């Protein structure tokens, strides 16, 4: 009989929840692994506990949208930023808008630059005027996105069954 280590219920639940969230991001919007990992990294930094109360600047939802950003991508009421599915649609639109702006300016469209624009604004990135705190945010997001791409995200989309090693 294979040996299966005991995993704390909380850790298993958190891992399962992360896999579910990542699967929803990828499947519900047909996102690339890069986009899914970047958006999940931003969400984990912006609102890791999924709080529904507004942020210090009035930001709402899993991706902590500001009202102006929300209105750029939808006509739905700003309070709908608390609806995870609608927030995900707007997050994907905003991600794509950032990528188009970066591409037009011939800048990399990687997790670092997307997160930098998410935090400090696309125009600040294009003008080279993002503050140091935004660069630290982008570094965190890029590192987290890479970890997500290598770990649960890839496992969530690997069609091969897991291999259980037998421990003597």
Domains and CATH numbers, the chain: 31-154 (1.10.530.10)
pLDDT of residue 31: 60
Q: What band does 30 get if pLDDT is binned at 50, 70 and 90?
A: low
pLDDT of residue 159: 41
pLDDT of residue 32: 86
Residue 21 reports pLDDT greater than 70:
no
pLDDT of residue 102: 98
Distance of CA 82 to the CA centre of its chain: 15
Distance (Å) of CA 114 to CA 17, 31, 76, 131? 24, 15, 24, 15
pLDDT of residue 14: 52
2 within 8 A of 165, measured Cβ to Cβ: yes
Separation between Cα atoms, residue 84 and residue 9, nearest integer Å: 25
Residue 16 is given by DSSP the state: H
Residue whose structure tokens are 């309070």: 79
pTM, whole model, 2 decimals?
Answer: 0.73
Greater confidence, 76 or 19?
A: 76
pLDDT of residue 72: 97
Greater confidence, 10 or 139?
A: 139
Average pLDDT over residues 38-46: 96
Residue whose structure tokens are 């294009």: 126
Model confidence over 107-164: pLDDT tens digits? 999 999 999 999 999 999 999 999 999 999 999 999 999 999 887 544 444 443 443 3
Separation between Cα atoms, residue 109 and residue 135, nearest integer Å: 15
> Which residues lie across from 65 on neighbouring strands?
60
Separation between Cα atoms, residue 141 and residue 112, nearest integer Å: 7
Model confidence over 49-88: pLDDT tens digits? 988 999 899 999 999 999 999 999 999 999 999 999 999 9
Separation between Cα atoms, residue 4 and residue 166, nearest integer Å: 9
List Cβ neighbours of 45 (8 Å cut-off, separation of 6 or more): 137, 140, 141, 144
């Amino acid at each position: 009989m294979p040996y299966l280590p005991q995993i704390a219920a909380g850790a298993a639940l958190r891992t399962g929840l992360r896999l579910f969230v990542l699967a929803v991001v990828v499947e519900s919007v047909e996102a690339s692994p890069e986009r899914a990992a970047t958006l999940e990294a931003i969400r984990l930094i912006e609102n890791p506990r999924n709080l529904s109360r507004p942020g210090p600047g009035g930001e709402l939802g899993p991706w902590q949208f500001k009202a102006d950003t929300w209105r750029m991508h939808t006509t739905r009421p700003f309070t709908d930023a608390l609806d995870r599915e609608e927030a995900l649609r707007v997050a994907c639109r905003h991600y794509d808008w950032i990528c188009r702006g970066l591409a037009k300016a011939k800048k990399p469209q990687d997790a670092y630059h997307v997160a930098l624009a998410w935090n400090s604004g696309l125009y600040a990135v294009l003008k080279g005027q993002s503050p140091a705190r935004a660069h630290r945010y982008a570094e965190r997001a890029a590192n987290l996105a890479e970890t997500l791409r290598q770990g649960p995200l890839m496992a969530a989309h690997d069609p091969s069954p897991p291999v259980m090693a037998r421990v003597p």
